[in-house]
Structure 1
Amino acid sequence: MTSSEGSPEVTETAAFKLPRDRPTPFDPPAGLAGLREITRLSYTDGHQGWLVTGYALVREVMADPRFSARAELQHMPFGPAGPRQPAPPGMFLSTDPPEHTRYRRLLTGEFTVRRMRLLTERIEQIAREHLDAMERQGPPADLVESFAAPIPAVVICELLGVPEDERGRFLAHAVTLTRGDRPQEEMMAAVTAMVAHMRELVAARRARPGDDVLSGLTRSDLTDEELANIGFMLLGAGLDTTANMIALGAFLLLCRPDELAVVRADPGHTDQLVEELLRYLAITPFLVRTALEDVELGGEPVRAGETVTLSIASANRDPARFPDPDRFDPLRPAGGHVGFGHGVHQCLGQQLARAEMRAAFPALLARLPSLRLAVEPEQVPLRTDTPIYGVRALPVTWE
């Protein structure tokens, strides 16, 4: 095990507890920087598992079939301590092969690079339309509500074939599920409503197929329950993650005038900017896997049944992989980050997320050259209690 000056000493009998407090809105939680291998970790329910922070070991676990993503095997470092249930049919993110493989193969046929390229023009149009609306309304504005959230919301609704007149109620429940600060009863009601909406949508797409992902999936052997759950999962994954990357990325740029000037001066490096934001910010702070058998990992004996938490934020700041990793460099060739995971569970919608970010940032910075925060940086409310990290609102203004 490793530690550094200022980091807690970790032993078998005194397990580390995963920290959540961040020294700045853009850096991993304090206490992780010196932990570059594998460390004993204490979980909410008392389980004694492991924390992996190094880039190489994180990728090793993600690629090793001896580590399971099944929901019912996992212990969580945060949140309620109760037992977890198996994933419902279609919720393949929390399953293993061969079940995961079956779903993944069907979805891969819909989320092709070609399809994402064809979507680029439409995404750019959506970004322009929301910037038009922002300008008509005038400053100040909440960039989350006015720009960052609507872009992926419209895109994922169109991909799923949600009729325009139904998107309001559809997205209202999705937003409730992503907030993390709602009462449990309200969250469960939103889940029930969303699944009901998805069932209605599946029935509509079966009756009148269109050129959308859900219609394409109705031609497979998937049941209505599987299709509804897949749609539910895709909506949540496609909405919250990209919205927070756009908002948190804009927050970072507005706090870094020197780097922002570099981005404005050379918009031809949008690809590098997007990859560096994905590396540097890592809005999914951690993933969990559980050992299916005894495994030696980083020189430590991980026993069958022990859960391993993978720190994505820390892995993406590993100096063994990224030179000067704590420096944000919008021109860095940042390929190889694990912001989208690795292995068979690597994010299916990563090309869509990239397309949305590549459209959003150039459009925003070109349209509003005087854009700036409308409050002090420390007044921006952060999402520290949700699985996806980001900002709850981003007040901005312009001339």
Structure 2
Amino acid sequence: MPAEQSPALPIARTCPYAPRDEHVRLRETDPVSKVTLPTGAEVWVVTRHEDIRALLADTRFSSDRRRPGFPMLDNGSGAPTDVLPPLLLTMDPPEHGPARRAVLGEFTVKRMNKLKPRIQEIVDEHIDRMLAGPRPVDLVRALSLPVPSLVISELLGVPYDDHAFFQSRSASLVSRTVSQEEKQKALFDLAGYLDELLRAKEEVPTDDLLGRQILRQREVNGAVDRKDLMGLAFLLLIAGHETTANMISLTMLQLVRDPGAREALRQDPGTTLPAVEELLRYFTIAEQALARVAVEDVELGGRLIKAGDGVLALAHTANRDPRVFPDPDTFDVGRGARNHLAFGYGHHQCLGQNLARLELQIVIDTLLRKIPDIRPAVPVDELSFKDDAIIYGIYEFPVTW
């Protein structure tokens, strides 16, 4: 008798505001279940909040994408292992802990608060440029992309004049439709660029994150591991602008759709940070980074996951779990729940989450203060959403006021 075929599970979103119906159905009827991905790979999918937290906290599940069975969401997801070292995102204990601690101090709340005046300057400059120019304006190009790009460039010590170069390469790397050859080309381009940048910083260390890491490595190890720093720079450069840029666009889309929430935030900026948590929960744009492979047999949610089995956590679905978030499909600007999974959970929780929160807070407060009547310049159903990317967002968002 042939083995029972696992049901096919589509991954791409069909709506910016809600998980797919298939994912919700699994959460309610079969929360830890075996499915077949669009690539043809058979993996476990986990859809409830409690089970995903257990998965992400359990070191018997590996983040190492080189392990057999690791679930890839497209056939071009693998990067050549000789170009970059394992990234923080893909490391397991015991290597992960020291590597994370080496850079964790760069992202503390205290250090982010020191960055706050400069981030405010950057946001002011770009919004003032919008106000001075013609309308309508594409919010993505005018604000969403340049603000986090400039912030992460300054943090790392990457010349902002090169932002178009790394934006185009990062867009290729997070797309589901770009070929493996194009992705490899983008990766080689970025690796070559970062190698040259780090060589220059080794000769004259600069007062930025990469320069400080060079000095730290010399002090601790007596030498600089350029490939290790290249991996760190690569991860922060991609993650530091792709995610926040897309969240800025989706945030403003939600606020122009919800005049009550927009006005409440404009009247009381002290409520912005709780609203940021709700926005992160509501959209959960990078859920598909939460993939693992079991390194030994593990029971999860009442199901036995065997060593070598791939596991995919659907955080967007879990962030709408009614067992955790009452009336979860309603955007509640005052909810303020920080137990969402938008930044992951456990030892791989997003390193730059404090920076992302700060950027979103400053953008929301400044945009609502300076352009309180901002609105879409085209019908919302005509917007082009990133259904083909592993980080969700909007390609263009024409606005006026």
- Scaled by the length of structure 2, the TM-score of the pair is 0.90
Structure 2 residue corresponding to 1:394, chosen from 386, 389, 397: 397
Q: Per the alignment, in what secondary structure is the counterpart of residue 151 of structure 2?
A: helix
Among 279, 297, 301, the alignment partner of 1:277 is: 279
Instruction: Report the alpha carbon displacement of residue 111 of structure 1 after superposing the two structures with TM.
Output: 2.1
Q: 1:361 to 1:186 in 2, by over 3 A?
A: same
Conserved 8 A contact 1:153-1:239: yes
Seen in structure 2, the aligned counterparts of structure 1 residues 178 and 393 have a Cα distance that, compared at 3 Å, is farther
Superposed CA offset, 1:145-197 (max 9, x none): 10011111001100111234444444443444445555554433322221111
Match of 1:9 in 2: none
Check whether the contact 2:269–2:365 (CA below 8 A) recurs between aligned residues: yes
Contact residue 39 and residue 74 of structure 2 kept, 8 A: no
User: What is the alpha-carbon distance in structure 1 between the residues aligned to residue 170 and residue 296 of structure 2?
Assistant: 37
Q: What is the CA distance between 1:228 and its match in structure 2?
A: 1.4
Counterpart selection for 1:306 from 305, 309, 313 = 309
Structure 1 residue 79 displacement after superposition:
1.2
8 A contact 1:290–1:305 mirrored in 2: yes
Give the 3 Å change call, closer, same or farther, for CA 194–39 of structure 1 in structure 2.
same
Structure 1: gaps of 5 or more residues: 1-11
In the TM superposition, what whole-angstrom CA distance separates every residue of 1:289-313 from its partner, at most 9, and x where no partner exists?
A: 1111111111111111001110110
SS of 2:350 mapped into structure 1: coil
Aligned-partner Cα distance in 1 for 2:119–2:298: 45
Return the alpha-carbon distance in structure 1 between the equivalents of residues 213 and 14 of structure 2: 44
Count of residues in Structure 1 that have an aligned counterpart in Structure 2: 387
Aligned equivalent of 2:71: 76
Partner of 1:267: 269
Q: Contact 1:255–1:377 at 8 Å: present in 2 too?
A: no
Q: Which residue of 2 aligns with 1:54?
A: 48
The change in CA–CA distance for 1:85 and 1:163 in structure 2 (over 3 A counts) is closer
CA distance in 1, matches of 2:137, 2:377: 8
1:345 CA displacement: 0.5
Q: Relative contact order: is structure 1 or structure 2 higher (C-alpha 8 Å, sep ≥ 6)?
A: 2
Q: How does 1:76-155 map to 2 (within 5 A)?
A: 76=71, 78-80=73-75, 88-155=84-151
> The residue matched to 1:390 in structure 2 has which SS?
coil
The aligned counterpart of 2:207 is: 211
Number of the residue aligned with 2:26: 35
- Identify unmatched segments of 5+ residues in structure 2: none
What letter corresponds to residue 205 of structure 1 in structure 2? K
Further displaced range: 280-289 or 339-348: 280-289
> Does the Cα contact within 8 Å between 1:71 and 1:86 map onto a contact in 2?
no
Letter in 2 for 1:142: D
Deviation at 1:21, TM superposition (A): 5.4
Distance 1:165 1:252 in 2: 31
CA contact (8 A) 1:72 1:84 kept: no
Cα distance change of structure 1 residues 150 and 76 upon mapping to structure 2, 3 Å threshold: same
CA RMSD across the alignment: 2.1
Question: 1:245·1:390 contact (CA, 8 Å) conserved in 2?
Answer: yes
Contact 1:47 1:75 in 2 (8 A): no
Q: Distance in 1 between matches of 2:37 and 2:172?
A: 26
Query: Matches of 1:147 and 1:377 in 2, distance apart?
Result: 18
CA shift for structure 1 position 384: 0.8
Verify the 8 A CA contact 2:38 2:73 in the aligned structure 1: yes
- Match for 2:263: what amino acid? A
Mapped to 2, the partners of 1:91 and 1:260 lie a distance apart of 38
Task: Find out whether 1:246 has 2:237 as its counterpart.
Answer: no
| Partner-residue secondary structure (3-state), 1:72 | coil
The CA deviation at 1:129 is 0.4
Q: CA deviation at 1:78?
A: 3.0
| Distance in 2, Cα, partners of 1:153 & 1:120 | 15
> Which residue is equivalent to 1:5?
none
Give the letter aligned to residue 310 of structure 2.
T
- 1:236 Cα deviation after fit: 0.3
Distance 2:55 2:169 in 1: 34
**1:293 matches 2:288:** no
What is the CA distance between 1:99 and its match in structure 2?
A: 1.8
2:9 is matched with 18
User: Deviation string for 1:39-89 (max 9, x for gaps)?
Assistant: 111134543321101001000000000000000225436311787765832
Contact 2:16 2:385 in 1 (8 A): yes
Distance 1:24 1:166 in 2: 33
Q: 1:346 corresponds to which residue?
A: 349
Aligned-partner Cα distance in 1 for 2:157–2:41: 42
Contact 1:16/1:39 (<8 A) preserved = no
State percent identity of aligned pairs.
Answer: 39
User: TM-score with structure 1 length normalisation?
Assistant: 0.91
Structure 1 Cα separation of the partners of residues 111 and 9 of structure 2: 39
Contact 2:169 2:190 in 1 (8 A): yes
SS in 2 for 1:71: coil
Change (3 A) 1:243 1:271: same
Q: After superposition, what is the alpha-carbon deviation per residue over 1:106-143, rounded to whole angstroms, capped at 9, x for unaligned?
A: 11132222111111111111000000111121210110
Q: Distance in 2 between matches of 1:118 and 1:81?
A: 39
